[in-house]
Amino acid sequence: MDVFTSLITAFDLPFMARALLVLVVLSLVAGLVGVLVNLRGLEFISDGLTHAVFPGVAIGFVWGGRDGLFVGAMVAALLAAVVLTVIVKRAVTSDAAIAIVFTAMFSVGIIVVSRETNYVGQLDALLFGRLLTVSPTEVNQTVVVCLIALVLVGSTLKEQVFRAFDLEGALAAGYRPLVLDLVLNVAIALVVVAASSAVGNLLVLAVLIVPGAVARLVTNRLWLLFPVAAGFAMLAAWVGLAFGYDASVNGGVDLPSGATVVLVLVVGYVAALVVRLGLDRIRALGRRRRLVERVGR
């Protein structure tokens, strides 16, 4: 029963409570943004954005430590979101060009960090986060950044869905896709920034993409997608944190908390996928049986 008591008791510890708070806020916003990423098929571009934000994180960190990290990431995120929106709009490039630009930026970030002493430790923290040593200041920063992203996406949600469903129709209705795309890309970039101290630059992609994908497996109802994605992400964050805590306290195994949360997300996805495939199979069999009965009669 230890694992289950850990679901509650783990968060008596202030650092665990802070980690949970950061992840819950992040999950809520990443879930909403992630559904749009899924509907638009922007997974690859989101991946590019996480890479592009990295040099900003690195330069900010080298320049001003943990506080600088936040400023640098914000600047890089906004810059990357704007550049990306324009590149895609111009359509002068392919996926290859996006990949080249953003991996190049990622390399710049790594080179910047490599000038630091304790290079490996720093890089590790930037890439994979330091969920359990998140400071109260970082909690506040995360909440503020998430709030901005939430307002951006919330105020354009139905228009974003319109654009995702039918670009021509949205254009004809007088919407400017460039504006909508910019808003969404900035929101994605903000989620990347918000996540950089908690789950790090690499794992944030899972927080952005898995909940939206799970929601698509669970429901076909448009406005249910958003709460399902956010709720699933929050649940995974809670279970993942508690599981990591339990493994370390009762099992003596030290699990990196960010990665544990991500794995719980993925396990949840696999479970949803299996259930969905099973249900589809049963439904298909039922349909065939009805058909056979009708023909047999």
Residue 282 binds to another protein (criterion: CB under 8 A): no
* Interacting residues of 106 by C-beta distance below 8 A, sequence separation 6+: 51, 52, 54, 55
Q: Could you give the CA distance from residue 223 to residue 203 in angstroms, rounded to a whole number?
A: 27
Which is nearer to another protein, 35 or 131 (by Cβ)?
35
- Out of 4, 93, 158, 286, name the contact with another protein by CB under 8 A: 158
Quick one: tokens of 142? 């995360």
Quick one: tokens of 19? 């980690």
User: Could you give the angle at the alpha carbon of 77 between the alpha carbons of 71 and 83, nearest 5°?
Assistant: 140
* Interacting residues of 232 by C-beta distance below 8 A, sequence separation 6+: 31, 211, 214, 215, 218, 268
Which is nearer to another protein, 225 or 272 (by Cβ)?
225
Residue 76 binds to another protein (criterion: CB under 8 A): no
CA distances from 37 to 47, 67, 210 (A): 11, 29, 10
Residue 32 binds to another protein (criterion: CB under 8 A): no
Helices (H), 41-135: 43-90, 95-114, 119-128
- Out of 20, 29, 39, 190, name the contact with another protein by CB under 8 A: 39
Residue 135 binds to another protein (criterion: CB under 8 A): no
Closest CA to 203 of 52, 50, 80: 50
Only segment of 90-98, 111-119, 129-137, 161-169 that touches another protein (CB under 8 A): 161-169
16 and 247 Cβ atoms separated by less than 8 Å: no
Which is nearer to another protein, 40 or 51 (by Cβ)?
40
Residue 161 binds to another protein (criterion: CB under 8 A): yes
Please report how close the Cβ of residue 129 comes to another protein at its closest, in angstroms.
32
User: Which amino acid type is present at position 127?
Assistant: L
Residue 165 binds to another protein (criterion: CB under 8 A): yes
CA distances from 169 to 93, 166, 172, 174, 177 (A): 25, 5, 5, 9, 11
Which is nearer to another protein, 101 or 150 (by Cβ)?
150
Please tell me the total number of residues recorded for the chain in this structure: 297
Only segment of 24-32, 96-104, 149-157, 187-195 that touches another protein (CB under 8 A): 149-157
Please report how close the Cβ of residue 183 comes to another protein at its closest, in angstroms.
10
Count of residues engaged in binding another protein, rule: CB under 8 A: 24
- Out of 133, 219, 266, 276, name the contact with another protein by CB under 8 A: 219
Residue 156 binds to another protein (criterion: CB under 8 A): yes
Which is nearer to another protein, 14 or 174 (by Cβ)?
174
Residue 221 binds to another protein (criterion: CB under 8 A): yes
- Out of 1, 65, 96, 174, name the contact with another protein by CB under 8 A: 174
Binding site for another protein (CB under 8 A): 39, 154-156, 158-159, 161-162, 164-169, 171-174, 216, 219-222, 225
